[in-house]
Amino acid sequence: MDIFDKCNQYSTVKEAKASGIYPYFIPLDENEGTEVVYEGRNIIMCGSNNYLGLTTHPKVRAAAIDAIERYGTSCTGSRFLNGNMTLHEKLEEELADWVGKEASLVFSTGMQVNLGTISSIVGHGEIVILDKDDHASIVDGAFLSGGKIERYRHNDMDHLRRVLESLPASTPKLLVVDGLFSMEGDIAPLPEMVPLCKEFGVRLMVDDAHAMGVLGGGRGTAAHFGMTDDVDLIMSTFSKSFASLGGFIAGETDVIEYIQHHARSLIFSASIPPANAATALAALEVMREEPERIERINEIAEKMRVEYHRLGFDTGHSVTPVIPIVIGEDELTFMTWKLLFENGVFVNPVISPAVAPGRQLLRTSYMATHTDEQLDKVLTVFEKIGKQLGLI
């Protein structure tokens, strides 16, 4: 059998494209700010992770341009060897201060942070514990570690206790959880989770990719609950609120130095380009200087949740700017997406395995720079399509 046979027989995408409801890899002509352009048509973007709207901020743009002028386009090497710069280390110092930890370490992507951190901290014979709704990068990092993987039902602390009780007390353990879950928009219950971790001697890592810039005054889930000192490792990406590309892990100095010298995804990857590092640094400065952006994004989230409920849509347990519209069927999810797209609203259709079967949804997310006029138009379109398809 030819190993490519599976590729030649893969017909799902072809069938979806033929039916006109294929919703992925949309080639946008322009993709900045609250509106994008597709085939000359302006569409309101409600599917971006640009929560604070900083990709268009003058200070952030200028930082990227200045960095290219000064440093060029790439370091062309790993940070382990020739690709480490004072700019990277300045960013690490600022990030550690922002999240309230001793040190931080910058990787070239958020995916690499989770792959490198989890696989270097957890080894063979050790245990990594995951929420069943954890991001794929966390799951892949756990598999890469070679440790034993245990999973508990989403945000179910009673089930987590039973899992912890079943594990050998003497075996080292790391629990990794999303702070803000990227599809459903709910938050990990750290006030209940932290005592369990302490009781059973488990170290805790929180993935704040979507919470950074949004929760806790922009400092993430641990800060949101006033539990920064109780979380051992805080991770986040630059591709959301930081308007860039990359990511970081923050914690105690000894732990960060260990990761720095053992994370293969750091050691064997080219370092984050200067422009991306400078962008993230400038975005962090804006977060400090313009806290009203963080207030605005949360005000928008509250407005949209209230209005979707008023219209009769199911938004699950969201309490953040990530607001799911639960549909429950693949084909209906894609059809709803298509009609919204044709009517000028961009959202993200999500089906299994990214969500549990029966939880197929449209993932909507918002920016601090969305205007009230844009938001009202989005709601009008949702109401129109919802009635047309019998969703409300």
Task: Annotate 229-259 with b (16+ C-beta within 10 A) or e (fewer).
Answer: ebbbbbbbbbbbbbbbbbbbbbbeeebbeeb
Task: Annotate 359-392 with b (16+ C-beta within 10 A) or e (fewer).
Answer: bbbbbbbbbbbbeeebbeebbebbbebbeeeebe
**One domain for residues 155 and 295:** no
**One domain for residues 166 and 242:** yes
**One domain for residues 319 and 350:** yes
Question: What digits encode the pLDDT tens for the residues 295-307?
Answer: 999 999 999 999 9
User: Containing H/E element for 372?
Assistant: helix 372-388
Looking at every residue in the chain, the average pLDDT score rounds to 96
**One domain for residues 282 and 302:** no
**CB distance 241 to 52 below 8 Å:** yes
The answer to whether residue 246 scores a pLDDT higher than 90 is yes
The answer to whether residue 352 scores a pLDDT higher than 90 is no
Question: What digits encode the pLDDT tens for the residues 313-343?
Answer: 999 999 999 999 999 999 999 999 999 999 9
How does DSSP assign 80-122, residue by residue? TTT---HHHHHHHHHHHHHHT-SEEEEESSHHHHHHHHHHHHS
**One domain for residues 230 and 358:** no
**One domain for residues 164 and 31:** no
**One domain for residues 29 and 73:** no
Q: Tell me the residue type at 300.
A: I
**One domain for residues 67 and 80:** yes
Q: Which of 289, 313, 334 delimits the end of a domain?
A: 289
| CATH number where 264 lies | 3.40.640.10
| CATH number where 349 lies | 3.90.1150.10
- Which 3 state secondary structure label does DSSP give 380? helix
Q: Which of 289, 309, 336 delimits the end of a domain?
A: 289
**pLDDT value at position 356?**
85
For residue 78, give its domain range: 57-289
Question: What digits encode the pLDDT tens for the residues 189-230?
Answer: 999 999 999 999 999 999 999 999 999 999 999 999 999 999
**One domain for residues 235 and 360:** no
> Averaged over 69-89, what is the pLDDT?
96
**pLDDT value at position 73?**
95
**pLDDT value at position 152?**
98
**CB distance 143 to 96 below 8 Å:** no
Q: Which of 270, 289, 308 delimits the end of a domain?
A: 289
**One domain for residues 131 and 66:** yes
pLDDT confidence band for 28 (50 / 70 / 90): very high
**One domain for residues 129 and 266:** yes
**CB distance 150 to 130 below 8 Å:** yes
The answer to whether residue 32 scores a pLDDT higher than 80 is no
**pLDDT value at position 31?**
86
**One domain for residues 273 and 321:** no
Number of domains observed in the structure of the chain: 2
Integer Cα distance of 120 and 268 in angstroms: 14
